[in-house]
Structure 1
């Protein structure tokens, strides 16, 4: 199956993604029109749809400009329809679309916002998580609860480990510094931090990684790890409680 993903840096630290598959070209999130248009035109691509993960301005503000230019459809989470630019189709949790059944699946991942969704392409081996699961982190709980976000992250963690995770912001370097405070003896994390420093020094993006790497190094996915639980003095707590403590510490970091 032809499947190509292009990472498009936008604004100061956002990412949009272009997905070219059997159904044509999709734009996932629309932070800024100019770089998205430039990336499309450089490849001679015309998008058929803009797919939105959640309603925050830095993921949707270029929708109108792109829709005018390309006359494409706009899709986004049904649970945030009243907060998004006008949708041509509101996406419910679990929706699957495409010429091949299940080509793209909508996964509800509330926490950062109440209606946040991720877009999972099982046959493309990719999931677009925006501000839910992030490289070495997760989104702030602006609208949802820690329990909501932990459940959302648990859903994403259950995807095949070879799945590529494409998140919405270049926050990896700061997330890495925090991760070391929670999981300081993790050799794979220490190595990853060094790789991130090298990549950022060369202005290379770091928010696109295999899920397996996140499972091994992201403290927000590792609330069940005995070393982390011991370090937090929370050996008898639930996984959700450990996650909530890690998230609270990150908020103050």
Structure 2
């Protein structure tokens, strides 16, 4: 039974994801309750579990209303438990669970926050990355360090390339503009930017993409690329240092 994944726009540019598998319905992040409730009720679904990626309010603001309405369990990173709504289960790597396509692997991907988690559904070929790996970008390094974020992105980049990446914000247009300043001669990136521009003009979401496409076009995953290193004048630098330079340029973009 394949996963049924519903993308739910929330707030001004956030996404929540409802995931229906053989063992029930879970939600990845809860920016606000209203749109999520509407999406569940339109399908006649209840909600069994909320999986929280990190503590920022725009990812947890709807948790209590949803918990009250559905009596669902709430799970999130143990490393951020003190900053999260009360957890029924505090998660660490290795605490895998679920059945069939719903089998879920929590991944520790710090950088944006120190306890940030992604949720990988290996049998369902999906990973929910919130503000770690993002479409054509990555989250700002607020609490962690540049090497920490580089390691987290490297962990995600090593997943099977046919994995669908579901990130937490509709930032793709801005990320695309920046990516072209780093990798302007990348024809795959040029084609993707054209598709993103059209999709956004049509009101379609663009923060959901195959990892293979990210590997081909996202400059934050391409620190080893000779053309990027030459453009930055960092041919002899480590991949981690090239990544840090790209992230610093994005912060100032």
TM above 0.5 = yes
Q: Is 1:135 aligned to 2:120, yes or no?
A: no
- Provide the TM-score with structure 2 as the length reference: 0.99
Give the number of aligned pairs.
253
Deviations 1:221-241 (A, max 9, x none): 000000000000000000000
Within 2, Cα distance between the matches of 1:249 and 1:2?
A: 40
- Give CA-to-partner distance per residue, 1:5-64, whole Å, 9 cap, x none: 000000000000000001100011000110000000000111100000000000001000
- Please tell me whether the aligned partners of residues 96 and 102 of structure 1 are also in contact (alpha carbons under 8 angstroms): no
What residue in structure 2 maps to residue 93 of structure 1? Answer: 93
Partner of 1:186: 186
Q: Which runs of 5+ in 2 are unaligned?
A: none
Please tell me whether the aligned partners of residues 93 and 108 of structure 1 are also in contact (alpha carbons under 8 angstroms).
yes
* CA distance, structure 2, for counterparts of residue 101 and residue 217 of structure 1: 28
Note the aligned Cα RMSD (angstroms). 1.0
Residue 149 (structure 2) aligns with: 149
Q: Measure the CA separation in 2 of the matches of 1:16 and 1:160.
A: 23
Give secondary structure in 2 for the equivalent of 1:176: helix
| Structure 1 CA distance for aligned equivalents of residues 101 and 214 of structure 2 | 28
Written as runs of structure 1 = structure 2, the 5 A alignment for 1:214-233 is 214-233=214-233
Equivalent residues in 2 for 1:1-253 (5 A)? 1-100=1-100, 103-253=103-253
For 2:77 and 2:26, the matched residues in 1 are separated by 16
4+ residue stretches of structure 1 with deviation over 6 A? none
Deviations 1:96-151 (A, max 9, x none): 10135981000000000000000000010000000000000000000000100000
Question: CA 1:101–1:199 in structure 2 vs 1: closer, same or farther (change >3 Å)?
Answer: closer
Q: Distance in 1 between matches of 2:101 and 2:209?
A: 26
Aligned-pair CA distance for 1:2: 3.2
For the residues of structure 1 that align with 2:133 and 2:95, how far apart are their CA atoms?
Answer: 20
Contact 2:100–2:123 (CA under 8 A) maintained in structure 1: no
Change (3 A) 1:239 1:232: same
Q: Is the 8 A contact 1:111 1:152 kept in 2?
A: yes
Deviation at 1:94, TM superposition (A): 2.7
